[in-house]
Amino acid sequence: MSSRFGLLLLLVLAACTPLAPSEGALPFRTIEQKADAATIGQQQYDALEPGLLIIASDEDLAAYGKWFTENARDQMRRMNLTRTPTLAVFQGWKVGEGYGVSVSGVERQGNVIRVTAQFAVPGASTGGKVTSPYHLIALDGLVGANALEFHLIVSGETLAIIPTPTPIP
């Protein structure tokens, strides 16, 4: 009888273990990656500067879902966003083709999540249409995203921190 109790206790403890580690690389999966958001008829991230967005609740999805395709919004609606937050890395408005965003890694260091991305930049101006490239990813098992600090790192430089630090007067 005691061996059954021990096995049951082991199973309960294993189920309570968080999915995401407190340190090290975090697994992620792509929900959507677009280089041409402005040309496919959806609203777009409209800042010139790069950005990082965390969607960790249904309220966040209602506020920011307009920047993604209906397919991506449907995927996020089916997810438990408090257990599987999504992150979007935006390159900002670009004139011409050949721009793009690719998240290459996500790493946790205590309460800081470092999101490393690469930005594709064309060699010469292609002129013409405005694009708004982004990469939308899901982080399975990252509970408590609202209590974490997220850093967007591109080419070794921190381009965004969420939540934004309070400026010192």
Across the strands, what pairs with 137? 30, 87
Question: What pLDDT does residue 165 have?
Answer: 66
If you search the block for the tokens 């257990």, which residue do you land on?
A: 83
Say if pTM beats, i.e. exceeds, 0.85: no
Say how far apart CA 142 and CA 116 lie, in whole Å: 17
CB atoms within 10 A of CB 81: 19
Q: Tens of pLDDT along 120-131?
A: 988 766 667 778
The encoded tokens of residue 21 equal 């580690």
From 118, 103, 76, 94, select the one nearest 38 (Cα to Cα).
Answer: 94
Q: Tens of pLDDT along 52-66?
A: 999 999 999 999 998
